[in-house]
């Protein structure tokens, strides 16, 4: 039997905690391989160990799910596949996910951000989750896919259900994904019959000699984009807005010199990682720091802990908007490295540029903000602010 560590590792409690970082520091220092009997997870928290797991996809597989519950969607999804099938899927979607297509979204992102900010009453309290951080990423992904979104709230609820797997409230992960499949099944026939210039049409109609995806594979990929591309960015944006509110001098400097934003955004992603951890399953017996992890065990990579590892990040517990280099793992690494990283960075930059230009002194009503309770996400589901106090 594996020995029980002195720390209780509950990913949900940690994602909801205002300051889980002392626990992460203890894990790194005292229990670099920590077995959590409550969740049957082997937790690695040091940067080099997380990196090792990410870069060895043969030993540490994704096929049995990457959230701690091991939830795997019915239709094939890139994120829970292993080579060689993952390689095939990724090369097919890569062709549609081009820098040119992403760049075309810049003007759209700015326009939607401005419209959303227009609707804020500067002197009243506004829930920024409702007003900005939730609708913007949803609008961007639906624009990318070329689908209209009639019921954003229902959509966010179901996408969230899959990501917050095991949160206990609202639809289950399986119900959430079923809802998204049904939604996509309704729009695909139209694109099959009359292809446009959108990503779905491109996936359904590959060029000569390009890999062809099945109908189910296209649905699976679009469903993944709708989940992986929305909640994550919502949380990243909310976390960044709170981090800057807590540091008014840095915020003021960035409002005056927005050229500093890309670097500051990397620091936000490192400092409050929106995906604090994901898991893999060992395909063979493996040993890390002298601890034997059996084949079939679930290994949890605590990105949020690794991203503050002093061995890699000097003054890792300090927010440094000019940190460089900043090799954080918020977007993962290796074969599953986030396909939407550059799009997410663009969204964050434009949203923060516009927010800081319009409301440079916004105040977060921190005592009433509500954090998500989630196995695989850290962010806010209610983010009250006064835009111009
Ligand atoms: C700040 C926002 C985001 C964060 C923090 C984030 C984080 C991540 C992480 C940690 C993974 C790796 C999963 C693993 O290693 O098992 C991932 C994969 C992925 N992300 Fe993102 N993501 C973000 C935004 C986006 C956006 C905007 C999109 C789409 C437009 C997207 C699409 C994907 C896809 C398709 C994968 C799967 C890649 C694969 O398995 O090969 N993500 N993301």
Going by C-alpha positions, the residue among 271, 232, 247 that lies closest to residue 372 is 232
Average of per-residue pLDDT across 187-209: 88
Q: Is residue 1 part of a domain?
A: no
CA of 207 to the centre of ligand 1 (A): 26
Q: How far apart are the first and last CA of the chain?
A: 57
Looking at residue 304, its pLDDT comes to 98
Average of per-residue pLDDT across 216-241: 93
Atom of ligand 1 minimally distant from the CA of 81:
40
Chain segment 221-232, per-residue pLDDT in tens: 998 998 889 999
SS3 category, 292: strand
Looking at residue 276, which CATH number applies to its domain? Answer: 1.10.630.10
Q: Is residue 290 part of a domain?
A: yes
Mutation probe of ligand 1 site: the residue of 76, 271, 340, 372 with most atoms within 8 A of C-beta: 340
Contact 204, 95 (CB under 8 A): no
Q: Is residue 334 part of a domain?
A: yes
Chain segment 29-75, per-residue pLDDT in tens: 999 999 999 899 999 999 999 999 999 999 999 999 998 877 778 88
Q: Is residue 4 part of a domain?
A: no
Q: Is residue 76 part of a domain?
A: yes
Between strands 370-371 and 380-382, the pairing is antiparallel
Question: Does the reported pTM lie above 0.85?
Answer: yes
Q: Is residue 3 part of a domain?
A: no
Mutation probe of ligand 1 site: the residue of 159, 232, 302 with most atoms within 8 A of C-beta: 232
Contact 132, 234 (CB under 8 A): no
Chain segment 76-98, per-residue pLDDT in tens: 899 999 999 999 999 999 888 88
SS3 category, 82: coil
Chain segment 146-171, per-residue pLDDT in tens: 876 666 777 778 887 777 655 556 78
Which structural domain range is residue 201 located in? 11-386
Residue 122 has pLDDT above 60, yes or no: yes
Structural tokens at position 230: 């929305």
Q: Is residue 5 part of a domain?
A: no
Name all residues whose Cβ lies below 6 A of ligand 1.
62, 66, 78-79, 90, 141, 224-225, 228-229, 232-233, 236, 274-275, 278, 330-332, 336, 338-340, 343-344
E-strand stretches of 30-141: 33-36, 41-44, 60-61, 125-127
Percent of the chain exceeding pLDDT 90 equals: 69
CA of 37 to the centre of ligand 1 (A): 28
Looking at residue 367, its pLDDT comes to 95
Q: Is residue 280 part of a domain?
A: yes
Q: For residue 125, which phi and psi values (nearest 5 degrees)?
A: -80, 135
Structural tokens at position 281: 């399953």
CA of 257 to the centre of ligand 1 (A): 29
- The number of domains in the chain is 1
Percent of the chain exceeding pLDDT 70 equals: 96
d(CA 53, CA 59): 8
Average of per-residue pLDDT across 212-236: 91
Q: How far is CA 177 from the centre of its chain?
A: 17
């Amino acid at each position: 039997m594996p020995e029980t560590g002195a720390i209780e590792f509950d990913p949900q409690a940690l994602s909801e905690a205002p300051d889980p970082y002392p626990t992460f520091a203890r894990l790194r220092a005292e229990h670099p391989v920590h077995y959590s009997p409550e969740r049957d997870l082997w937790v690695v928290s040091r940067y080099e160990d997380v990196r090792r797991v990410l870069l060895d996809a043969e030993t540490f597989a994704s096929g049995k799910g990457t959230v701690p519950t091991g939830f795997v969607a019915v239709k094939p999804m890139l994120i829970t596949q292993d080579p060689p099938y993952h390689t095939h899927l990724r090369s097919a979607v890569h062709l549609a996910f081009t820098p040119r297509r992403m760049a075309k979204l810049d003007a759209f992102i700015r326009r939607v951000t401005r419209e959303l900010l227009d609707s804020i009453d500067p002197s009243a309290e506004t829930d920024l989750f409702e007003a900005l951080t939730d609708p913007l990423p949803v609008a961007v992904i639906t624009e990318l896919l070329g689908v209209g979104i009639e019921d954003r709230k229902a959509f966010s609820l179901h996408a969230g259900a899959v990501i917050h797997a095991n949160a206990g409230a609202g639809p289950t992960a399986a119900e959430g994904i079923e809802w998204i499949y049904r939604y996509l099944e309704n729009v695909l026939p139209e694109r099959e019959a009359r292809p446009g210039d959108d990503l779905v049409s491109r996936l359904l109609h590959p060029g000569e000699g390009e890999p062809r995806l099945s109908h189910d594979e296209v649905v699976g990929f679009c469903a993944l984009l709708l989940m992986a591309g929305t909640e994550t960015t919502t949380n990243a944006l909310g976390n960044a807005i709170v981090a800057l509110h807590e540091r008014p001098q840095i915020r003021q400097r960035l409002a005056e010199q927005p050229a500093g934003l890309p670097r500051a955004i990397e620091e936000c992603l490192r400092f409050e990682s929106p995906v604090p951890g994901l898991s893999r399953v060992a395909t063979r017996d493996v040993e890390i720091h002298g601890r034997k992890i059996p084949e079939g065990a679930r290994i949890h990579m605590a990105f949020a802990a690794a991203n503050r590892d002093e061995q890699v990040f000097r003054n890792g517990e300090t927010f440094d908007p000019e940190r460089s280099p900043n090799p954080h793992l918020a977007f993962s690494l290796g074969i599953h490295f986030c396909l939407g990283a550059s799009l997410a960075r663009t969204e964050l930059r434009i949203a923060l540029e516009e927010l800081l230009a319009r409301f440079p002194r916004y105040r977060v009503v921190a005592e009433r903000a509500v954090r998500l309770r989630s196995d695989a996400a850290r962010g806010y589901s209610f983010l009250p602010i006064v835009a111009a106090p």
